[in-house]
Amino acid sequence: AKSESAPPRPRVTILATGGTIAGAGASAADSATYQAAKVPVEQLLAGVPQLADLAEVRGEQVFQLASESFGNEQLLALGRRVADLAENPEVDGIVITHGTDTLEETAYFLTLVERTNKPIVVVGSMRPGTALSADGALNLYNAVAVAGNPQARGKGVLVTLNDEIHSGRDVAKALNIKTEAFKSPWGPLGMVVEGKSYWFRLPAKRHTLDSEFDIRRIDSLPRIDIAYAYGNLDDTAYRAFAQAGAKAIVHAGTGNGSVAAPLVPALRVLREEGLQIIRSSRADQGGFVLRNAEQPDDRYDWVVAHDLNPQKARILAMVALTRTQDSKELQRIFWEY
C-alpha cells in the first residue's frame, strides 16, 4: 500500500444544458448534420473517463436544449442553480455544457450576476460526439481542468473551446462549422493544453464579485429587442418591438453604430416615450461605438454599447434595467462592464 495518499481532487459540478456537445448524428461522417441536445449528462461524463484524473466530477442535467431556444427563464434558472453551487462549500468549480449558438450570451449573463470567485467555465463543441474528430470530449476535459484550477478563480466566467481560454464577456461565436469558432476581439486569456492552464491576460471589466448585480436580486428580466440595420431600412421593426413591450432596443447599427437619417426621428420619439435606445455595431469582432460619434447621443439621450456586440448589449441592458431606468446610469454601466 502507498504510504502517502493522493492529494484531494477538486470537486467540479457539470451542469448540462444541451447543444452539440450533447449532439448525436446518424453516422461518423455527419459532422454538421445531426441533432443537438440528445445525450444525457451521465453518458457525456462516461465518454470522458479521463475527467476523473482531473477532478471529482458530478453531473446534473439542467435542460436538454439547443441554445438558440434559450429564453430568459433558462438564463434565470441556470443562474440560480450556479449560485446555489457557488455557495456550496463542497463545490470548487462549475462547468456548464452549452450549445454554441448563444453560449456567449449565457457566459456574459453569468459573469454579470454570479457573486463568486469560484471558477465557472462554459463549454460547447462544434461537432457531435458521434462524429470523426469530435471536439467535445477534449473541450470538456479542458473545461474541467480549468474549473478545478485555483488559478482560474476570480477571473470571471470563462469559456474553453479549441484549447483556448476566453473571457465570457468578450468571446463570441465568430464562425460556424469550424472548430476554431470562438473569438475574442481583445484576444483569449490563455490556453489549456493537456489539462494544464497557461494564462496571458486578465479581464479589465467588472465581473462576478466586483459586479453590482446579483442573481439573487433578479426576479425577472425585461424584454429587450435587437433591430439589425442595413441599407433601405425603415422603422417597422423598431415600432413593432416597442408595441410588443420592449423596454430598450439595441440598434445593431452599421459601422460606428450609425443610424439611417430617415430612422432618426422614429428613434427619438421612442426614446421620448421611455424606451432606451442603445447603439451598437453590426461589425462583428471589433465593433466599437463611441458617444456622440455618428449621432448626438447627449442631445437625443441615447446610450452606446461601446465594444459589446448587439447580443451582449442586450444581456447587459436586461440586467442593468432591473436596477435603474436612468439613461446616464445605463451608460455608466455600459462603460464599466
Ligand X SMILES: NC(=O)CC[C@H](N)C(=O)O
Q: How far is the CB of 185 from ligand X (least distance, A)?
A: 21
- In the bound complex, which residue of the shown chain has the CB atom lying closest to ligand X? 99
- The whole-angstrom separation of Cα 169 and Cα 160 is 13
Nearer to ligand X, 176 or 325 (CB): 176
Name the segment binding ligand X (CB under 6 A); options: 63-71, 72-80, 134-142, 279-287: 63-71
Name the segment binding ligand X (CB under 6 A); options: 52-60, 61-69, 220-228, 235-243: 61-69
Nearer to ligand X, 37 or 91 (CB): 37
Distance linking the first and last C-alpha atoms of the chain: 53
Residue 190 lies near ligand X (rule: CB under 6 A)? no
Q: Under rule CB under 6 A, which residues in 5-24 are in contact with ligand X?
A: 18-20
Judged by CB under 6 A, how many residues of this single chain contact ligand X? 12
- The whole-angstrom separation of Cα 220 and Cα 276 is 18
Q: How many residues can be counted in the chain? A: 337
Residue 67 lies near ligand X (rule: CB under 6 A)? yes
The strand pairing partners of 161, in sequence order, are: 164
- The whole-angstrom separation of Cα 308 and Cα 285 is 10
Three-state secondary-structure class, residue 337: coil
- The whole-angstrom separation of Cα 246 and Cα 39 is 36
What proportions of the chain, in percent to the nearest 5, are helix, strand and coil? 30, 20, 45
14, 39, 126, 313: residue in contact with ligand X (rule CB under 6 A): 126
Q: How far is the CB of 45 from ligand X (least distance, A)?
A: 18
Q: Under rule CB under 6 A, which residues in 82-111 are in contact with ligand X?
A: 99-101
Draw the binding track, 289-308, toward ligand X (x: CB under 6 A; -: no contact).
Answer: --------------------
Q: How far is the CB of 19 from ligand X (least distance, A)?
A: 4
Q: Is residue 183 within a helix (H) or strand (E), and if so which, with residue range?
A: strand 182-183
Q: How far is the CB of 163 from ligand X (least distance, A)?
A: 17
The strand pairing partners of 293, in sequence order, are: none
Residue 36 lies near ligand X (rule: CB under 6 A)? yes
- The whole-angstrom separation of Cα 2 and Cα 109 is 46
Nearer to ligand X, 48 or 123 (CB): 123
Beta strand pairing status for 224-228 and 196-199?
A: unpaired
Burial of 234 (0-12, 13-18, 19+ CB in 10 A): exposed
Residue 171 lies near ligand X (rule: CB under 6 A)? no
Which of the residues 13, 20, 111, 208 is marked catalytic? Answer: 20
Residue 136 lies near ligand X (rule: CB under 6 A)? no
Q: How far is the CB of 202 from ligand X (least distance, A)?
A: 28
Which of the residues 13, 100, 111, 208 is marked catalytic? Answer: 100
* String of DSSP letters for 48-90: -TTHHHH-EEEEEEEEEE-GGG--HHHHHHHHHHHHHHHH-TT
Residue 13 is among the residues annotated as catalytic for this protein: no
Residue 100 is among the residues annotated as catalytic for this protein: yes
Q: How far is the CB of 154 from ligand X (least distance, A)?
A: 28
Nearer to ligand X, 122 or 233 (CB): 122
Nearer to ligand X, 67 or 211 (CB): 67
Q: Which residues contact 325 (CB under 8 A, 6 or more apart)?
A: none
- The whole-angstrom separation of Cα 212 and Cα 257 is 27
The strand pairing partners of 123, in sequence order, are: 97, 160
Q: How far is the CB of 130 from ligand X (least distance, A)?
A: 13
Q: How many CB atoms lie within 10 A of CB 322?
A: 15
Residue 68 lies near ligand X (rule: CB under 6 A)? yes
Residue 74 lies near ligand X (rule: CB under 6 A)? no
Q: Which residues bind ligand X (CB under 6 A)?
A: 18-20, 36, 66-68, 99-101, 124, 126
Known catalytic residues are: 20, 100
